[in-house]
Structure formats: C-alpha cells, structure tokens
C-alpha cells in the first residue's frame, strides 16, 4: 500500500483515475451493464501501470478491531483506493451510504463513486 505524503498526491492520483473513467464514458457511453465498465476501467488502469484488483475481497472490521467478514470491492487500486461503480440513471443517497460504509468498516481512507449509466458522467470523491 502506497503511503502518500500530501493531500496533493492523493488528489493527483484520483485525477488520473477520474480522467480514465471519463475517457471510458466518452467512448462507450451509457447503456452497458456495470461489469462492462468495470472491465474497461480495470483494463485501462492496468495499461497505465497501476495495480488493480477486480471484485477484490476487503476485510471488514467491527468497532473493536475484530474481523467480521469480507466484501468485494468493484475495483481496488494500489491497495488503498476503492472504486464503487454504478450504471444507473441517477446516483442516490444509498450509493453514498454504501461507499462510506465500505470505507469505514474496511478502515480505508479514500474512495470514488463512479456512475457510467447516465448521459452526464458522474464521479464523486469520498474520504474518511
């Protein structure tokens, strides 16, 4: 897991993922299943030299630190950035709650919620 020294480094890294996601949306457009976008994004990020896991199991911890299970992130980049992908008409509050819950219970700091399903590309950065 890469340790960043500044918020600027995190922002720059997320900007790379954001641009790659935008390029996929511009090329493929809305209308595909979420899995198509997941495969395209993982492929392009790997081509860019990043370590990418698809349906990556992430350990979930309880408040006292006890491991209580796993969930599978759509994409985990470089072991620290969760990408939660959607292919829906509009993002809803439950999508935000989902990624925030993942970050908190997995004890990770950064995530991107990306919606490929709308004509207007949507991406939102979340941090604990």
User: pTM for the whole thing?
Assistant: 0.92
- CATH second-level architecture of 7-127? 3-Layer(aba) Sandwich (3.40)
Question: Residue 113: which residues within 8 A CB-CB, separation 6 or more?
Answer: 84, 86, 91, 95, 96, 99, 122, 123, 124, 126
pLDDT in tens, 75-119: 999 999 999 999 999 999 999 999 999 999 889 999 999 999 999
Question: Could you read off the pLDDT of 6-48 as tens digits, one per residue?
Answer: 888 899 999 999 999 999 999 999 999 999 999 999 999 999 9
3-state secondary structure of 115: strand
């Amino acid at each position: 897991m890469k340790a960043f020294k500044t918020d600027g480094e995190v922002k720059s890294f997320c900007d790379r993922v954001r641009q790659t996601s935008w390029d996929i949306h511009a090329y493929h457009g809305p209308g595909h299943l979420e899995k198509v976008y997941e495969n395209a994004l993982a492929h392009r990020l790997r081509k860019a030299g990043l370590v990418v896991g698809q349906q990556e199991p992430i350990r979930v911890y309880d408040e006292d630190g006890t491991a209580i299970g796993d969930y599978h992130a759509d994409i985990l980049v470089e072991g620290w950035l969760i990408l939660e992908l959607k292919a829906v008409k509009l993002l809803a509050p439950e999508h935000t709650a989902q990624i925030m819950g993942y970050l908190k219970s997995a004890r990770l700091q950064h995530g991107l919620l990306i919606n490929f399903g709308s004509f207007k590309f949507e991406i939102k950065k979340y941090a604990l």
